[in-house]
Structure 1
């Protein structure tokens, strides 16, 4: 099956929450920017390093068909932080070296607020064909500043064999998850639950998912309001802190990123794991102790399915792009259905086109697609803010302290609200 053959590629995709790339045939025409008939010519496309190796052939197809608008790929470091830093340095210079930028969905507000990327005409792109929640990651202040290219959503991996032995179904609520992690896992000598709990961007995602799934939020009004001081936030952060305190979240999980957590589940050391879709292929490989013994469902919430945080990347046109009309055409191409299909089949990355999630052939090859579709449809963006990097660092520091039992959850939420309120809103 394709998802098994893709294990080698997908193993490298633990950064998939922050990177991605692919395209499809879209209509050619003028969008915003540039005089009619102008703004066309060669382009550069900047992205974090393409770890899966599928992007080069996609762009080669474009270059053969449109040699006068050849696109050159500029690969930055695969670290999201380093890629972002290099993009910002170039954009601040105003040199216009990058016509198109493949940016993490969490960077849209920051880049738009700073004036580094140009607004786009929504009618130019087939946004109604996308999974609806992903479009929200590409907007800021009521305007479209990018086009969704690759999406992602967290899902719950569970040991189907162990739940079957106990006559249990996978949890739909956080209370069920806690009960099963507390009572079933010890019977089988495994840890109860883990996610990505090291203080880095993954922890911000995990915490936001818990707060959202409990019915709360972290920021409102494009980062203008701090909304985290709520019973929902105390419940979500309390869930994580209580898990470590009571032992059904292993203490080792406080050091987990995507790959460490995947290996723990793959090696048979966990009953439940929160991770991205990329983990499905690797966990189904020949070296996995749980291959054929696990399942995937949407994350649980308070009274039913929870809310995942959207990952993935968006394509934006730089404000100083040399050839913005060609850049918009390339974005339409890369987000059209034919190329989006290749994003999935060749890159093993979740596409943004809704129809692909219900394609019988694709579902046979990628069995997690129905659960992923449900997760994306109920998902929400990370907190929007022009100062997102600072927001994320605060969330990581405070919530890790709570999980490490250095601060009780109620006090941690109050501290989180105070520190978020101290971050400048603009500039």
Structure 2
């Protein structure tokens, strides 16, 4: 028989029995219930293991590392915790902008899974001001600062408080071909003069540096400004400083870009393009990070025989350059459920053993001063002494919560380097920075 409900036909039950369709639905419902109960039991068991003394799971968000050094550090510290915690290495996107975007979105949502955060050296001020990360105090601060280089610590400090612990650092050196340049230049003027002579002789003569419209262009400008005795922002980070040192910096950039020393691809080049150009044999000089050394050794063993390094060239004779440092600082998420263990784990992740592995396997310069006299590091880093000297006299990028906008204002105004008008462009940068610091105006 057939009955009707709201115009829809349905089967009519005979007492004590159900139709095959109804029986099938009941079996499916029972199966779904069993699956749900099984999943719930697994979740309860997982929660219970942590609450009953099992290891706490800590998430470590950091850049993707192909060398295995970061995964090794997470494994080492999980093992050494004595069963109190395990560290899960969560890989962020490769590009720095993508890394920051993911962290900002999740922290803004107060995500409690954000335990240990690998921050670019320009993010601490922004994240601290937003109260997304916890300050390092007491014993944790003391342990974080012992044997740690001063300039990397500055990148992790905001308004006098330490908000992260330096995990690794980085600085550029001057790399050059000894078969073309027996004695390396000490200033930019000297280097450009050498490049012109090589060009007239028909020899490789390019100066490889980051000229694309991105963060690398800002780093180049900041290094020159600091090396000329100036700064982009004032000491309180409330207004632009710039002035004559910035005009000198912009002039040097323009001079290179309009000279024979300029690679034809300068306005599109980043660090890796610089490396490849040097390895191809078309350049005499390269301003870049230490990763180029093992790359040259592997990719062009013949050219490697004359591949040398020297301090970053200065602006004035007798005054050392102040190269802008890079690196990653480890911060603790403000919404972590286990901040005490996260602080302890972060200190472990950047201990001597793990920094040594990151330096040798991943090419990441350490932040612990004592490692630079370690024979194992020097064997893989024959330039360790020059890196240490550069780090001790290095500069940081402007420290402000508005750094992203400051950097964009600089890189857009100075791109392409061949079109730089030093005085007017520095004035324009100053105006845009004022707007950025006051959170007004449109950033290009």
Question: Which TM-score band (shorter chain)?
Answer: 0.7 to 0.9
- Shift of the alpha carbon at 1:122? 6.0
The one of 306, 315, 318 equivalent to 2:330 is 315
Give 1:31's aligned residue: none
Give 1:112's aligned residue: 128
- Shift of the alpha carbon at 1:222? 4.7
- Shift of the alpha carbon at 1:183? 1.9
Give 1:32's aligned residue: none
Give 1:33's aligned residue: none
- Shift of the alpha carbon at 1:114? 1.2
Matches of 1:153 and 1:295, distance apart in 2: 16
**Residue-by-residue CA offset, 1:213-268 (whole Å, 9 max, x unaligned):** 1221111235312111x111111111111111223222311111111011111111
The question of whether the paired residues in 2 share the 8 Å contact of 1:213 and 1:300 is answered with no
The question of whether the paired residues in 2 share the 8 Å contact of 1:159 and 1:271 is answered with yes
- Shift of the alpha carbon at 1:286? 4.2
Matches of 2:395 and 2:427, distance apart in 1: 23
Give 1:333's aligned residue: 348
Q: Which has the larger radius of gyration?
A: 2
Matches of 1:426 and 1:419, distance apart in 2: 10
The question of whether the paired residues in 1 share the 8 Å contact of 2:77 and 2:349 is answered with no
Give 1:127's aligned residue: 145
The question of whether the paired residues in 2 share the 8 Å contact of 1:109 and 1:384 is answered with yes
- Structure 1 residue 79 corresponds to structure 2 residue 92: no
- Shift of the alpha carbon at 1:110? 0.9
**Residue-by-residue CA offset, 1:334-379 (whole Å, 9 max, x unaligned):** 2222222122123221111111112233212221211111111111
The question of whether the paired residues in 2 share the 8 Å contact of 1:163 and 1:170 is answered with yes
- Shift of the alpha carbon at 1:423? 0.8
Give 1:27's aligned residue: none
Kindly report which structure 2 residues correspond to 1:250-289, keeping only aligned pairs within 5 A, or say none: 250-287=263-300
Question: Which structure has the higher relative contact order (CA within 8 Å, separation 6+)?
Answer: 1
Over the residues paired in the alignment, what is the CA RMSD in angstroms?
Answer: 1.9
The question of whether the paired residues in 2 share the 8 Å contact of 1:151 and 1:311 is answered with yes
CA 1:241/1:104 → structure 2, altered by over 3 Å: closer, same or farther? Answer: same
**Residue-by-residue CA offset, 1:108-133 (whole Å, 9 max, x unaligned):** 11111111111111642241301221
The question of whether the paired residues in 2 share the 8 Å contact of 1:146 and 1:314 is answered with yes
The question of whether the paired residues in 2 share the 8 Å contact of 1:131 and 1:354 is answered with yes
Unaligned runs of 5+ in 1: 1-37
The one of 343, 346, 371 equivalent to 2:386 is 371
TM-score by length of 1: 0.85
Secondary structure of 1:391's counterpart equals helix
- Structure 1 residue 356 corresponds to structure 2 residue 366: no
The question of whether the paired residues in 1 share the 8 Å contact of 2:199 and 2:260 is answered with no
- Shift of the alpha carbon at 1:331? 1.4
**Residue-by-residue CA offset, 1:141-161 (whole Å, 9 max, x unaligned):** 110000000000111111111
Q: How many residues align?
A: 382
The question of whether the paired residues in 1 share the 8 Å contact of 2:174 and 2:312 is answered with yes
Give 2:208's aligned residue: 194
CA 1:174/1:318 → structure 2, altered by over 3 Å: closer, same or farther? Answer: same
The question of whether the paired residues in 2 share the 8 Å contact of 1:280 and 1:368 is answered with no
Matches of 1:325 and 1:95, distance apart in 2: 17
Deviates more, 1:355-364 or 1:135-144: 355-364
Kindly report which structure 2 residues correspond to 1:46-195, keeping only aligned pairs within 5 A, or say none: 46-66=61-81, 67-121=83-137, 123-124=139-140, 125-164=143-182, 169-195=183-209
The one of 228, 231, 242 equivalent to 2:255 is 242
Matches of 2:167 and 2:116, distance apart in 1: 12
